[in-house]
Amino acid sequence: MIDSFWKEFQNEMPEYSGVEMPPSYYFCDNEKDTNECADLVNKGIKQATTHSLSWLQIHEEKLPTNGDLAIVTDWHGTPEAIIKTVKVEIVKFEDITAEYAFIEGEGDRSLGYWQKVHWDYYTRELSDHSLQPTLDMELVCEYFETIWPKKQPISQIIRK
């Protein structure tokens, strides 16, 4: 299913015809939130995601970089969209802004909502490693644009 999704994308976007298929993944840790996030990405509303730097380091995952591609799926692995990373920055939890929360696009898009759901998420994610979130923990803020289906570029939403 993902292979045919990627091939269809390459047929419609020939500039990617020689590009190796990128990784596929979903956002969140439960079916309801995962499927909502995939829908938001597909609609071009969700244009950022936030990784805990500690989790990436523990799992020896590389930091995202500009130009990275990924296939976003729903909970069951059905491909929904292809995204391209356009900006990456490391920010402390306490320094996340209302503008960033809005760009991440979840819930009511407010900073308060972002703080609550992400604190709860990092609590669950880090507890597997006997860690807890802190206000000064470093987060990897990954901005992306949905390149297929084609949506509004993030550059029209965030200030450079």
Give pLDDT tens digits for 70-120: 999 999 999 999 999 999 999 999 999 999 999 999 999 999 999 999 999
**8-state DSSP, 85:** E
Q: What is the mean pLDDT of residues 31-45?
A: 95
HSE toward the beta carbon, residue 125, CA cutoff 13 A: 22
pTM of the model: 0.90
Q: 12 and 148 in contact (C-beta within 8 Å)?
A: yes
For residue 150, what pLDDT band results from cuts at 50, 70 and 90?
low
Laid out side by side, the sheet with 79-92 consists of 24-25, 69-73, 79-92, 138-148, 48-52
Q: 143 and 86 in contact (C-beta within 8 Å)?
A: yes
Q: How far apart are CA 64 and CA 51, in angstroms?
A: 10
Q: Which CATH number fits domain 21-156: 3.10.400.10, 3.40.630.30, 3.40.50.720, 2.10.50.10?
A: 3.10.400.10
- Tokens 């020689």 sit at which residue? 18
Q: 27 and 38 in contact (C-beta within 8 Å)?
A: yes
For residue 152, what pLDDT band results from cuts at 50, 70 and 90?
very low
End-to-end Cα spacing for the chain: 36
pLDDT score of 153? 45
Which residues are CB-neighbours of 82 under 8 A, at least 6 positions away? 6, 9, 22, 69, 70, 71, 72, 146, 147, 148
